[in-house]
Amino acid sequence: MKKFMFFTVVALTVISCEIPECNLVTHNESTILVDVTDQKLLSQIDREIEYFSAFAKAKKLLELEECGSSTISLAPISSNYNLSIAKASIELNTLNLTGREIAIRRDTDTLFTKLVSNYQSIKDRVTLNPDLMASTDIATVIAKSIIRLEDTNSANVFVFSDFINYSEDFNFYKSVPNGDDAKEAFKIMIGKTLFHKMKTIIDTGVIDTIFLINLTPPKKMSKQQLQKIHTFWEKAFSDMSVELVITDSLTNL
């Protein structure tokens, strides 16, 4: 007797499911500038960087929405006027993700961990290159940091410094321009081209707030001198469409 064996062929169809990506991603950034021209300033900045995570979370600065990205960038203010940026980003640029996947991608703690790491790298660089403490042109670094934010949708700039500019052209230890002279001095510090570019970016409205965190100067100065420096920076940004916040520490905000 012959036996017949029947084989059933099962055809498996593999369906490829592609996760749709966002057509447009909105970019949110917080730029932090740290004055590395004196160890006493760095000691104060240590505490501010440590607190920045709590501040950013409380103010919801880096909350990540669907089809969005959040970035923290960090740069030193030193005798090197070239902008040296270290940054970290998180993004949510795909649709239809599960709740768990969204929560993982929205975790800002990775940003703050990287911020601390990048800050330590800057301090190490200063230790190896003490010439970085030789002079400072705060205005130029601020201008360049704002210009690079051209492609963001929303940004905040944090400047940690004693705001005492000292260079060949402007030495605030000797004299601080005031009144209309302050505005003109600010333009000269930056240069007309950079100043125009910076003001153009600010006028687009992408910069929400510029925070000037006024640190205690390493050298003793009179209250009158400090007030003149404070007034200079107020005057420098007075004609620009951006909120300017001046404080001694983020913990006061």
What is 81-147 written as a DSSP string? -S---EEEEEEE-BSS--HHHHHHHT-THHHHHHHHHHHHHHHHHHHH-GGGGS-B-HHHHHHHHHH
Q: Which of 34, 38, 33 is nearest to 134 (CA)?
A: 38
Q: Which tens digit of pLDDT belongs to each residue from 168-225?
A: 889 999 999 988 899 999 999 999 999 999 999 999 999 999 999 999 999 888 999 9
For 161, phi then psi, to 5°, come to -165, 170
What's the whole-model pTM score? Answer: 0.88
Q: Which tens digit of pLDDT belongs to each residue from 104-143?
A: 777 889 999 999 999 999 999 998 998 888 878 899 999 9
Give the Cβ contact number of residue 29 at 10 Å.
24
**Domains defined for the chain, CATH in brackets:** 27-252 (3.40.50)
Q: Decide if pLDDT at 4 tops 50.
A: no
Give the Cβ contact number of residue 244 at 10 Å.
14
Taking the C-alpha atoms of residue 126 and residue 234, their distance in angstroms, rounded to an integer, is: 29
Which residue's structure tokens are 């911020």? 115
